[in-house]
Amino acid sequence: MANIVVAGTQWGDEGKGKIVDLLAENADAVVRFQGGNNAGHTMVVNGEQFVSHLIPSGILQKKICIIGNGLVVDPKVLIEEINYLKQKNITITPKNFIISDRAQVIMPYHKLIDTGREKLKGDKKIGTTGRGIGPCYEDKAARTGIRFAEFIKETVFSEKLKTVLVEKNFYIEKFLKLNPSTLEEILAEYKEYAKILAPYVADASTAINKLIKNKGQILLEGAQGTHLDIDHGTYPYVTSSNTVAGGACAGAGIGPKRIDEVIGIVKAYTTRVGEGPFPAELFDKTGAFIQKKGMEFGATTGRKRRCGWLDLVILNNAVKLNGLTGLAITKLDVLGELKSLMICTGYKYKNSIIKDFPADCKILEKCEPIYEEMPGWNEDISLIDRYENLPQNTKDYLKRIEELSETPVYIISIGPQRDKTIVLNNPFLNIPA
């Protein structure tokens, strides 16, 4: 029996959705533990692509899917996602889908504040997804947020909203100079959402712990990536939650000793959406090649992703912060036609060499990558189904990642489809009861 956390090691979009969908086959439940619909997780099964923003990526494997207490949930988006999946003949009932009664509700004013502030900041903007994530987490910390438990009780909800809205609308009107929604408008809209979602709202932590007690296997699905973590990422160019594996315990309501393995998802190169420092970023034709071949466009906002070489300073930081026990290397096929590959092994800053990820973004902005060159394989590896059959140069690239990160590669992904994967070690199958 094993409970596994899947965490992004870079700046998100590493291919978590694909790997979670794959691993979910042997899980009993898949749990999201932080973030909201800033996430966009892609799964490709039987030639069809699904992008999920809130519902865990275990839904196509027909597993119990749980939205943990650590999430901020836009009810409108969640309902759209449920309807979209139902249209695709995927069953979603209160038996296989739970929303934590402690999860926070994203309100219209959160979205307005998010986008309004970004506009005011001009070129100092963070480049958020505009989904209201930051402002909703702010309210959670300020203890003025609305949880699902309150949201589904009409009187409790309207009373709380009435109090909160006075302050929000003052800020929206006077500071952001925008038109806020009235109490009546929000109540009318959100009352309908509450009715639809109420049957799914339950004590998620109790449900997860019950499953664990009954020897169920839990897969905890991280969103975003380690370097977007509110504490450990490139602050302030981060999201507003703890994206590291440690967040899984708080955001799902389980104890740390329940976690057996932490798998870090590593794109074979690096991408980033939004603003913020990115030392190994490429501005040349290789960067443009990777962007095009990797189809690096955001699954949530459609923005072009910035691309660069694989950065081991970042990966080693993720190994440390998440306690990674294994790696899943994704999008290895994208590097196919490149003659040589670079791995960033350190940063040059003034006259020193930095190997530990600096806290100060101003320092990071001035860091120059130190590269180690490796030969490419100049071959399409997307049709290979066994590790043994990979070109020697591909194996060497993987071995070098293992050596530098001191972490074993468990999974190799060579295409977006579920079956375009070489699994070397599946911890769900290897940990004895």
**Interaction site with ligand IMO (CB under 6 A):** 8, 11-13, 38-41, 126-129, 131, 133-134, 223-225, 228, 239-240, 273-274, 299
Residues 6+ apart with CB under 8 A from 59: 30, 52, 65, 85, 90, 92, 97
DSSP output for 186-253 = HHHHHHHHHHHHGGGEE-HHHHHHHHHHTT--EEEE--S-GGG-TTTSSTTSS-SS--STTHHHHHHT
Q: Which stretch binds Mg ion (CB under 5 A): 8-16, 160-168, 406-414, 423-431?
A: 8-16
273 binds, among ligand GDP, ligand IMO, Mg ion, none (CB under 5 to 8 A by kind): ligand IMO
Interacting residue ranges for ligand GDP, rule: CB under 6 A = 8, 12-18, 40-42, 44, 299, 330-331, 333-334, 413-416
Q: Which is nearer to Mg ion, 13 or 28 (by Cβ)? A: 13
Question: Closest distance between ligand IMO and the C-beta of residue 240, in Å?
Answer: 6
Residues 6+ apart with CB under 8 A from 153: none
413 binds, among ligand GDP, ligand IMO, Mg ion, none (CB under 5 to 8 A by kind): ligand GDP
Report the distance separating Cα 236 and Cα 178, nearest Å.
Answer: 24
126 binds, among ligand GDP, Mg ion, ligand IMO, none (CB under 5 to 8 A by kind): ligand IMO
Question: Closest distance between ligand GDP and the C-beta of residue 334, in Å?
Answer: 5
Q: Which is nearer to ligand IMO, 27 or 273 (by Cβ)? A: 273
Report the distance separating Cα 112 and Cα 106, nearest Å.
Answer: 11
Q: Which residue has the tokens 């459609």?
A: 302
Catalytic residue among 21, 28, 41, 227: 41
Catalytic, 139? Answer no
3-class DSSP state for residue 354? strand
Q: Which is nearer to ligand IMO, 236 or 408 (by Cβ)? A: 236
Other C-beta atoms closer than 10 Å to the C-beta of 48 total: 10
Burial class of residue 336, CB neighbours in 10 A (0-12, 13-18, 19+): middle
Please report, for residues 91, 311, 339, 367, the alpha-carbon distance to residue 348 in angstroms, rounded to integers and kept in the order given: 53, 13, 25, 6
Tally DSSP H helices, then E strands, for the chain. 14, 20
Question: Closest distance between ligand IMO and the C-beta of residue 354, in Å?
Answer: 23
Backbone φ, ψ for residue 213 (5° rounding): -60, -35
246 binds, among ligand GDP, ligand IMO, Mg ion, none (CB under 5 to 8 A by kind): none
Question: Closest distance between ligand IMO and the C-beta of residue 431, in Å?
Answer: 26
Q: Which is nearer to ligand IMO, 38 or 286 (by Cβ)? A: 38
228 binds, among Mg ion, ligand IMO, ligand GDP, none (CB under 5 to 8 A by kind): ligand IMO
Tokens of 229: 């973590």
Closest CA to 85 of 113, 58, 120: 58
Question: Closest distance between Mg ion and the C-beta of residue 243, in Å?
Answer: 12
Catalytic, 231? Answer no
Report the distance separating Cα 63 and Cα 285, nearest Å.
Answer: 43
3-class DSSP state for residue 352? strand
- Residue 67 near residue 28, CB atoms below 8 Å: no
131 binds, among Mg ion, ligand IMO, ligand GDP, none (CB under 5 to 8 A by kind): ligand IMO
44 binds, among ligand GDP, Mg ion, ligand IMO, none (CB under 5 to 8 A by kind): ligand GDP
Question: Closest distance between ligand IMO and the C-beta of residue 251, in Å?
Answer: 14
Q: Which is nearer to ligand GDP, 209 or 286 (by Cβ)? A: 286
Q: Please identify the residue of the shown chain whose CB is closest to the bound ligand IMO.
A: 274
Q: Which is nearer to ligand IMO, 331 or 346 (by Cβ)? A: 331
Binding residues for Mg ion, rule: CB under 5 A, are 13, 40, 299
Q: Known catalytic residues? A: 13, 41
